[in-house]
Copies of this chain bind each other. A is one copy, B any other.
Amino acid sequence: MGMSRWKPDAQTRLVQAALELYGERGFEQTTVAEIAQRAGLTERTYFRHFADKREVLFGGSTVFEETLIHAIANAPDVATPIDAVVVGLDAVAEAMFPPERHDYARRRQAAIMANAGLQEREQSKFASLVAALVVALGQRGVDEPTARLTAEVGVVIFKVAFERWVDGDQHLDLSQLIQESLRDVRGVTAGEGSAVGAAA
Contacts and interface: CB of A to CB of B under 8 A. Distances in A.
Interface in A73-131: 75-76, 78-84, 86-87, 90, 94, 116, 119-121, 123-124, 126-127
Given A184-B145, A200-B94, A156 B160 contact: no
A196 B127 contact: no
B199 A175 contact: yes
Number of copies of chain A assembled together: 2
Interface size range of chain A in the complex: 35 or more
A63 interface: no
Nearest to A152: B156
A188 interface: yes
B80 A194 contact: yes
Contacts of A80: 191, 193-196
Closest 5 CB pairs of A and B: A123-B123, A79-B196, A152-B156, A83-B196, A120-B124
